[in-house]
Amino acid sequence: MNNDAIPGRILIVDDDTALLEALPRALKLRLDGIQIDTSDNAADALDRIRETDYDAVVSDIKMPGLDGLEVLREIKKLRPKTPTVLITGHGEHDLAVQALRGGAYDFVQKPIDRDYFVASLERAIELRRLERRVDEQRHALERHARVLEHVDDGIFLIDDEGVVQHWNPAAAAVTGIEPEEALARRIDDVLTGWPTVAELVPIAPSPDPGGPSSKTLPLELGGKELWLSISGVRFVDGIVYAFRNVTEQRALDELKGEFVATVSHELRTPLAAIYGSAQTLRREDVTLDPETRGRLLEVITAESERLTRIAGDILLANTLASGRLRLNHKSVDVATLAGDVVDEVRAAFVDREDITIEVSGTNGIGEIVADGDRLRQILINLLDNAVKYSPGGGRVRLELEARANGIRFAVSDDGIGIAAGEQQQIFGKFYRVDPTLSRGVRGTGLGLYICRELARRMQGHVWVESREGEGSTFYVDLPVVRPVEQSEKAAVVT
């Protein structure tokens, strides 16, 4: 045994003063660095044991007052994990057996075999050290387990047999499987399809300060597919898996990819029109009449405005996401604003003579305190969508309604309608309705997101009511802000 690993502290109890002097000297020669306390009576020894957690206790089995067996019982009460080696006299075999049954670690007979005694004491000290280490690890695991109860990542531990030993609340929240449904069951039975996933998850041999690498994989749970980012770390008794639900993030990444492709298309079309018109105007070999030149210039102007709107939407969406939008609240004449917005949309869609754009409810509607430019932007976005998705002969209506706590704007159309499953999603950033279902109408997927976020920052709310094939109505509720609140709301809104 490696004596360098034995810097233990022991207590020797014996009423034989000669032995109390001889044993420590002998042990210090054999066990370098060992600390030895001595006591010549049981009462003093027990007081010392109360104060000090010794690595081992050596006691004579026969002493005045309390004998060794009684001392052993008291030690077990005070320090149940402290190994006790008893010294017995020749022929005291029965006492030795009683001592072992009473919890003694070992016994040595007089005359003492020094080699055996030292070896026994080394084993006792090493046992106590290992028990302390186990206790420390258990306490650490208990602390970690308490921490794991509150982390955001789902975490579960399986042993080498694949049986679930730990399942934290976050794991239950992500999977819908409660701890009592998972614990003590094979992970294959808890998570359908786990064997396939487990083969692909990288398992780190030990905890790495940089963290184990993870793998994003699909797993079917509760009849739906979730994408989980999963990593694993091997421990002594099994593997700890940590995972988080990245389904929404993955969907957002896909939307971002689609957004980039869409914006590329949206930019390419007006750029091509501008470039083609400009090239035609530059040609010296072609004589253009004033009307043709005028049409080409109109194309350049209109497509430039389209590019400006696209760039503006992208910049505004970024500003909204960062929380850096500054609102300028002031009194807004709602009726005048609504009339101006409808006139602007009519002018923008002058070529859609088959669409009727109407406004109603403006009489006596009054004023609200809001950012007029942002409110105009919301209404124009909604009316613009309504016209684009309306069939020939359809009507687009902007209706105003005074309510107890504010004003409601409703933009209705006779268009294709919106499926129930998409009525929340359409307000998400980058979300676009399937072009095959929207008559090929394209866009950046930012318009309704901008409407929702602008309304929120004016303490308002946007939602839609729609049935497929029966048109849609988008509602915007804005509160009537009291003048005393105006200065408060003119600050940066985050």
3-state secondary structure of 467: coil
The tens digit of pLDDT for each residue in 213-240 reads 788 888 888 778 889 999 988 876 788 8
pLDDT for the residue numbered 494: 40
The residue ranges of every structural domain in the chain are: 8-146, 154-248, 252-322, 330-479
Question: What homologous superfamily is domain 330-479 in, according to CATH?
Answer: Histidine kinase-like ATPase, C-terminal domain (3.30.565.10)
What CATH number does the domain located at 8-146 have? 3.40.50.2300
Mean pLDDT in order along the chain per 10 residues (494 residues): 63 89 88 90 91 91 78 90 85 78 87 88 89 79 64 86 90 91 93 87 73 80 86 83 88 72 72 86 83 88 82 81 84 93 88 89 88 93 90 89 91 90 83 57 76 92 91 93 46 42
pLDDT for the residue numbered 315: 82
Phi, psi of 207 (to 5 degrees): -60, 130
Distances (CA, A) of 208 to 100, 133, 243: 45, 22, 16
Q: Which residue has the tokens 């509602």?
A: 475
pLDDT for the residue numbered 212: 59
Q: Which amino acid is at 67?
A: D
> At CA 345, angle to CA 339 and CA 347, rounded to 5?
105
Q: Which residue has the tokens 């975490």?
A: 155
Q: Tell me how long the chain is.
A: 494
Q: What is the Cα–Cα distance from 105 to 121, expressed in whole angstroms?
A: 9
Q: Is the pTM of this model over 0.85?
A: no
Six-digit token pair at 76? 């077990």
The rounded Cα 380 to chain-centroid distance in angstroms is 37
pLDDT for the residue numbered 146: 66
Q: Which CATH class for the 252-322 domain? A: mainly alpha
pLDDT for the residue numbered 480: 80
pLDDT for the residue numbered 486: 43
Q: What is the Cα–Cα distance from 124 to 11, expressed in whole angstroms?
A: 12
8 Å CB contact between 229 and 244: yes
What CATH number does the domain located at 154-248 have? 3.30.450.20
**In the sheet that 395-403 helps form, which strands lie side by side, from edge to edge?**
356-360, 395-403, 406-412, 472-479, 461-466
8 Å CB contact between 88 and 96: yes
